[in-house]
Amino acid sequence: MEPAVLGGKLASSLIASLVKRLFVADGPGAGLVDKPVRLSSLVSFRGEKRRLDDKDIHRLARHFVQQAMDSPGEHPFLAAEQTAVADALARRLLALGDLDMDDVQAVRLGQRELARQLKHRAPAPDGLSTDAGHFLDSATEWACLQILEFFTRRSTFVARTLVEQTRSQAELIARVDELIARTPRPGTQDRAFERRYLPYVAERHNHITIYGIDLRDSPDRWPLEVAYLSLEATATEDRQLPDEHPGAALTVQLPAEEALSAHDRVLLRGDAGSGKTTLVQWLAVTAARDGDRIPYVLPLRTLIRAGQLPSPAGFLTATGCPHSPPEGWTERVLTAGRGLILVDGLDEIPSADRHRTRDWLQALIRAFPGNRWLLTSRPTAVRPDWLAPEGFRELTLAPMRRPEVKTFVERWHTAADAPEYEGPLLDSLHTKRDLARLATNPLMCGLICALHRERRGYLPTGRKELYDAALTMLLARRDRERGMGTLEGTELGEEAQLEILQRLAYALVLSGRTEMDVETAEGIVERSLPTVAGQGDARTVLRDLLLRSGLLRQPADGVVDFVHRTFQDYLGARYAVEEGHLDVLTSRADDSQWEDVIRMAVAHARPRERVVLLRQLLAREEPRLTLLALACLEHATALDPGVRAEVESRSAALIPPRTTADAHTLADAGPLVLELLPGPEGLTAEEARCVTETASILGGQEPTGALAVLRRFRDHPSFDVRRQLAGTWDRFDTTEYAVEVLDHLLRDGLFLRCASPGQLAALRLMRPWQRLTVNGSPELSDVADAVRDPDALDLLSLEHHTGESTLAELAVFRNLRALWLQDCFGVRDLTLLSELPLTELAFNQIGSPSGLSALHGLTRLSLDQRFQDGHLSDQLPLDAPLEYLFLGQQTLAATGLRGLESWPTLTELSVARPAVLSAADWGQVERLPVLRTLVLNASLNHYAVEFMPELPSVESLRVPSQRKPDRYFRILASRLPGLRTVTLKTPGRRGVPLDTYAEFFPTAEVTDDRL
């Protein structure tokens, strides 16, 4: 039911009770059929049966009006007129007593004519508004309807008009409903229009358009709700911070779409393509769908064409809205404070019109307070605090960050229905630094996406086409397709603008800087104008380039720079080649800041010039310059085949790296290397490991590009590659690396090390890990909570955990097979570990090893713990079926090998450097019948091997190598007649001469294990 109809029915029910009070009840003689009774004798404020006086009628009218005002929906008129309306209604009701007719005549007369009679007889109201008069007339008709209904229900009337009443009652009821439906309360027309207008706004602005793109198979517009992403806005405020000096500058960051949530008036600045207009569209669509605000999107470039900026009544007409609002609708919206006025493109109108625009805004704001206002502009269009007197807060759209770029690319490809191109483009954006620097706003991201799709998943060779397309879009096509003309009286074509811009860029490149003062820039422009036959003076031309080119900006007062360093390098290289400054370029090749300039110079150069550039780079015979020459090849579409072959041959000795030393040498060349690293296809396992090691080293300098390389190897089967990937987590963003790389690794035999709370929290983002190392002292309960599937954990290693604990929190790991405790000084008891299915335990320097003897299921035990003097059998679980035992220096110093015979199941014994070993200690070893492997971890002279008995069961020996094997090796060989393998533990990767050792162990295979 319509709100107005509902209000009308409420009003009818209210006035029904009023009418009953206006008439006296039937009495004797009142029902004479042949003698009708006049109305003047029936009303309750006349005649002998008077029950009400004038004051009572006024009170009843005021009550009715108050109830109508309190009914749901908008007020029918202004509250200030309530008393006047009630008095006027009372006077009309009192006029009933002056009518010279009976009830039957009144019914025949009808409610409209009866209402007109009352209006004519009552004094005319003075000064009522149109809405109040409309309500008074409606209320009078409602009253007359009820009066007539009252008459038809009186017994005297029924007696005289029963037949007529039967015929007319249905018609009267229908008329009541018809009248209510045809006389809606004020505001109904507004709401009906808004139901048409708001969907129109949402539909009109629910798309993003990139102007200036001319690509055959790529869309230039797509749904806003699919492609929109939240950007960040920043503001600098003077605010006193805790423990800071008063008035310290504070940078505030917030999502751009929340700009109006905390402040009703915002001036939003942003570079070309930063997303200002898209944000305006998003705010308009969101407001239209929510319905809490009425949005008005006012592009200034459109409004200014009409000459006169529109009044509120002309907002819709000026912007081409096909819907015609009710008269005065916009003013009523703004008066009620329901408007969201989005004024877009202050920079897109001439400067002379900006002052007029400010006056227009000031007048609107002062006339209609309480609404929300957003004005967008490029940064240099108006001075800071231009609208501060009107309470506008200034915000600046920040460049897109890596996650936002990723989101944009994903949504763009979803909207374009091209998911197959998404992954390759993201990899290119991660590994190619100049592309990443270019993709910092929605406009450039959209161009890159479209060009990549146009090329079927490949960016143009050398990327020169990308820059050319970007420059054409920014310098010419974008403004032309949006209907923009010249702003400041200058008219420079694309080539003329490029000539000036490349001179500015080259000056910056030569100075090694990225910005210059305005005076210097104006001087360069002035010297350029005769060449380009430009119009206007240097200051005007520079200002027009700052406002419209999309390439220059003014980051601070009196300073000019390029919006992207990559454009500076590209244009600077273009000018250097045109001027023949090739020697200048190669003389600066040692400076990494010139890398991109040289690569772009190769792109601009003619074939003979490319040969000169590349040969000069190779002539230096430096690995980094050789790699730079290799990187330049992708920009050299036409090149002497011999030069290309020479560059590739020289580079093949560097890429791929084949050893750890090669990886470090390659990484020394800098982030440029990341674009050149191959694989994983076509690489050996060792080459793949070295490539990932190179990328890992560069992760600190260029984490985005390094991550893109490492991501390619995440499915590699080699354990060494996977171990390298797992071990370099610390160099990257914790969450991103966990999701992009670690979660994909094959888990077999691989440890994951968590050394920070962030890494521990990231465990829940990945598939379960079977082997986990936790470094530091987090609460063990937090460790248990972080493990996504406690039942999957097989081996847990705790390192440097200083918190006191009995390890009770580990009970959740019901399938824990192995536990390693390194420097966990706070562990006070091991008893509770007996509840776990542990078969392996390793610890050193824990607070107390009490309870160790209760761990009856152990098969592997490693100890470097000082016990009280005694035997091993006094400390270790006697009934444990130990197969492997390591004894560290601390343990050996206290117990030696005494009591070792208690574990005849031992098949492997590893002994650290002892304080002293006696014949008795070696006698314990002699009593181990199934011992197969002996590991000595220090030089043989520390083990008193002359006391070693013959151990015929030992088949495998591991021992540190020496430069020259001495007599101890001869003694050792004589005591181990059953040896089949000897492994020499060798520090570093240089190896040892195995033939020398083979002389001592003629019946065994001798190998080295490089540590």
Q: How far apart are CA 815 and CA 817, in angstroms?
A: 6
Residue 250: pLDDT above 60? no
Residues 270/191, Cβ–Cβ less than 8 Å: no
- pLDDT at residue number 814: 95
Q: How far apart are CA 993 and CA 404, in angstroms?
A: 57
Render pLDDT for 481-512 as a digit per residue (tens, 0 to 9). 455 555 455 567 778 888 889 999 999 988 88
pLDDT band for position 10 (50/70/90)? Answer: very low
If you average pLDDT over each of 85-94, 152-161, 636-645, 818-827, which comes out highest? 818-827
Burial track 610-641 (b if 16+ CB lie within 10 A, e otherwise): bbbbbebbbeeeebbbbbbbbbbbbbbeebee
Residues 865/891, Cβ–Cβ less than 8 Å: yes
CA angle 173, 179, 181 (to 5 degrees): 105
Q: Say whether the peptide bond before residue 656 is cis (omega within 30 degrees of 0).
A: yes
Flag whether the pTM goes above 0.85: no
- pLDDT at residue number 487: 46
Render pLDDT for 712-757 as a digit per residue (tens, 0 to 9). 999 999 999 999 999 999 999 999 999 999 999 999 999 999 999 9
Distance of CA 668 to the CA centre of its chain: 33
- pLDDT at residue number 209: 64
Render pLDDT for 189-208 as a digit per residue (tens, 0 to 9). 888 899 999 999 988 888 77
Residue 129: pLDDT above 60? yes
25: DSSP letter: P
The strand pairing partners of 934, in sequence order, are: 909, 957
Q: What is the largest CA-CA distance in the chain?
A: 152
CA proximity to 750, closest of 722, 791, 717, 713: 722
Distances (CA, A) of 355 to 130, 375, 381: 38, 14, 12
pLDDT band for position 514 (50/70/90)? Answer: confident
Q: Hey, is 204 helix, strand or coil?
A: helix
Render pLDDT for 910-932 as a digit per residue (tens, 0 to 9). 999 988 889 999 999 999 999 99
What's the mean pLDDT when you consider all of the chain? 83
Q: How far apart are CA 410 and CA 449, in angstroms?
A: 10
Phi–psi pair at 246, nearest 5 degrees? -60, 140
**Strand bridging mode 372-377 / 860-864:** unpaired
pLDDT band for position 31 (50/70/90)? Answer: very low
